[in-house]
Amino acid sequence: MKVGIVGFGMMGRQIAQVFAQHENEVSVTDENHESLGLGMDEIENGPYGLKAAVARGKLSTTDSSTVLSRIKTVVHLKDACAHADLVIEAVYEDPDLKQRVFQEIDSSAPPTALLASNTSTLTLTKIAAKVKRKERVLGMHFFNPAQATKLVEVIHSRETAPETIQRGLEIIKLIGKTPILAKDEPGFIANRLGLTLFQEASRLLEDEIASINDIDNAMKLGYGHPMGPFQTADLVGLDTRLRNLESLFHATGDQKWLPSKALREMVNQGYLGDPSKRRGSKGGYYQFFRIEPRTEPP
Ligand SMILES: NC(=O)c1ccc[n+]([C@@H]2O[C@H](COP(=O)([O-])OP(=O)(O)OC[C@H]3O[C@@H](n4cnc5c(N)ncnc54)[C@H](O)[C@@H]3O)[C@@H](O)[C@H]2O)c1
């Protein structure tokens, strides 16, 4: 299968790698041309990249070069989409931007191509408002880091054709993931649940009921989550978290999605999450509040 990816930031890179590792030809583009080189470097050398997979014995060195050779970077969006069977959009979580990009993808991709968005919170109805082939639009919501996480949410709007949903589910299984299906409602399944937890964690912190360490440990040690809600936010990226909450708030008008003051402050000051995952970030919750992660009793 030929896959076009528009937006080669954190998620676009991960998704490109996953498809290339499953024998698909991938063309990627990004309006920031620097991102193209940085993205390829991350796919090769990043913490979940190909060298790391070789080091863990999951991939041979020869296979890793084959995987890398399946990913082509192109400067223009139309070249990423021209021969694609599937185009996945992974640009910033901004409804107007996504709408514009989707329209451009629609006029560049072959008429039979499926058009997917990796949006975390926006509705397909909004994003694809100006797309002609609405029956071929679906959501494919990957989870960070896509190389390691098994889940992909497949989203369908009222206009998505049953064959598109079917093909979407098949594609997700072909790349070794488990799909779950959700209707086109803000936040879908996983983010509605995950962001609810994060918002409650932020309230516990803001009301000084508990410390960051203890809130994270509550979910790790008490509920068996691999990471606490603040650690998850640091991994996802705090700017992405902020955009997700703002978009849920705008979409629903529900106060429960209003971002906390601390989150806004961190993003304004350049604390965008884990610096090993987010280039240029000053750190995440633990660095901003100057605390050491701790699992032992206080
Ligand atoms: N970060 C996460 O953990 C995560 C998880 C699941 C889904 N998502 C969703 O994936 C999408 C991308 O998030 P991200 O974290 O990769 O963001 P990011 O900021 O790392 O990357 C976005 C990329 O889009 C590029 N871009 C912006 N406008 C463009 C345009 N007109 N044409 C081409 N490229 C353009 C930017 O240059 C940037 O490289 C968002 O919708 C986000 O909500 C993010």
CATH of the domain at 226: 1.10.1040.10
Residues with active-site annotation: 120, 141, 153, 191
Range of the domain at 143: 2-183
Handedness of CA 89, 93, 98, 99 (dihedral sign): positive
Asked if 75 and 201 sit in the same domain, the reply is no
Query: pLDDT of 88-131, one tens digit each?
Result: 999 998 889 999 999 999 999 999 999 999 998 889 999 999 99
Q: Are residues 177 and 219 in the same domain?
A: no
Integer CA distances (angstroms), 8 to 27, 102, 149, 230, in order: 10, 15, 19, 25
Structure tokens at 174: 């072909």
In angstroms, how far is the first alpha carbon of the chain from the final one? 53
Do 268 and 142 share a structural domain?
A: no
Q: Are residues 218 and 179 in the same domain?
A: no
Judged against a pLDDT cut of 90, whether residue 296 lies above it is answered with no
Our count of domains for the chain comes to 2
Q: What is the pTM of this model?
A: 0.90
Q: For 157-172, write each residue's pLDDT tens digit.
A: 999 999 999 999 999 9
Same domain, 209 and 83: no
- Pocket of ligand 1 from Cβ distances under 6 Å: 6-12, 29-32, 35, 90-93, 97, 101, 118-120, 141-142, 144, 236-237, 240, 244
CB 182 within 8 A of CB 153: yes
Query: Do 213 and 230 contact (CB within 8 A), yes or no?
Result: no
Averaged confidence pLDDT in the chain: 95
